[in-house]
Amino acid sequence: MRDNSSLALRIQSSVRIGITLSLFIMNMTVFPPRDHPALVYAIMWSYVAVNLTILTLHWDGMTPFRAALWPMVLDLTAMTTVLVLSGGFPKDTSNYITLFDDLYFVVPIVVAFQIVPYVTVLAGIASVAVYIGAAVIAAPAPNWTYLITHACFIAIVSLCCVLLSAVQRSRVSTIAALVQHRSVLLSRVITLEEDERRKISEVLHDGALQSVLAARLDAEEIGQAEPGEDTADSLARLETALADAARQLRSSVTELHPDQVELAGLEHSLRSLFEEGALRGGFELDFSCRTLGPTPVDQLVFRAAGEFLSNIVKHAGATRVRVRLEATEERVRLEVTDDGKGVTRNQLAAKAREGHIGVSSQRVRAEGMGGRFSLDGVEPHGTAVVVELPVRPGAGGR
């Protein structure tokens, strides 16, 4: 709104300067002022100078309300003073050209550039009131038919300007809201990227790196062995550690590969993911799946399952995990239940404030697609997480 106000001030000033210069030419050629010509020209030149100043200066510190209000007061004051001094409100309108009276139309039109509808309302009311008041003061017995008709036209134009200003303000507000949402989404994307990097680092550090370090110790032990010393056990441990590191790296690469679900299918990918998690977390897995084939949301379901599994392995201390996947032509539903320590909503909120937004991001994604996300405790202990997504994003009606 502030940027628009600054631009609108310059547009308004340009319009006023053009109108004023046109009036100068007509005043000096066709309709010279009947009274006080020198004073009238002085006021009009001053009016041009003020608008040139507005056009060249920066008004970043001015609020949209003030930017719309005080130029309107300037317009009405200068316009009415010039018309009163130059005899612009005649008693007899039979041979009178209404060019100068029509300037009151310009006030609400110019104010509408500021897209502050209630100020445009004030401009319309003030234009009608000042026009009638100045005409009555300048000519105590005016042509009331002409005066009221002209005032009604000013009011109609003002109403149109108010509606146009409201429409334009709505558009600018929508754009501003989109810009704000874009900033929020960008911040979330950056946070999610950092969270993903942290997860990759933790997976490599807690998994494959430990196996590589163990293999290194075994290799050093073999290298330091005396000639003829039996190193079969060290070689066996070295082979086991390297195989374990290779398996963990292969599992991590497979999980991170964007085409994993598309190539292997959601059921196979989830089964492999949780079987690997069961080995790392030391829990018993109960997995069941019922699908009709690939869906557009398989990748999102797989990412959500990976987030749930990561929390189970790291924090839950579960001994048994149950996974249920059901996919129909309309919806895909994933339920993951464990018998671990459990987690409350307050704990999730605290984690989110600390920057751990994995579960929260899954909720945002699911609900943003018109789906459903729930996380509840189970008796006697444990957690049940359910994510349900429509096969056609947005079909959920949310």
The two tokens of residue 288 are 């069941």
Q: What is the pTM of this model?
A: 0.48
Rounded to whole angstroms, the Cα distance separating 245 from 241 reads 6
The alpha carbon dihedral of 211, 216, 219, 225 has a sign of negative
Tell me how far CA of residue 213 lies from CA of 206, 233, 250, in angstroms.
11, 17, 17
The three-state (H, E, C) secondary structure of 312-372, written as one string? HHHHHCCCEEEEEEEECCCEEEEEEEECCCCCCHHHHHHHHHCCCCHHHHHHHHHHHCCCE
358 contacts 334 by C-beta, under 8 angstroms: no
Q: Where are the beta strands (DSSP E) in the chain?
A: 284-290, 320-327, 331-338, 372-377, 383-390
Q: Give me the tens of pLDDT residue by residue for the chain, a chain 398 residues long.
A: 777 777 777 777 777 777 767 766 665 666 666 667 777 778 777 877 877 777 776 555 666 677 667 777 877 887 777 777 766 665 554 444 455 667 777 788 887 777 888 888 888 898 888 888 888 877 777 778 878 888 898 899 989 989 988 998 888 888 888 888 888 777 777 776 777 777 777 767 777 778 788 888 878 877 777 777 777 777 888 888 888 878 777 766 666 665 667 767 788 888 888 888 888 788 888 988 888 778 888 888 888 888 888 888 877 788 888 999 888 888 889 998 888 877 766 666 555 555 555 666 777 777 777 788 888 877 778 888 888 888 875 444 43
255 contacts 306 by C-beta, under 8 angstroms: yes
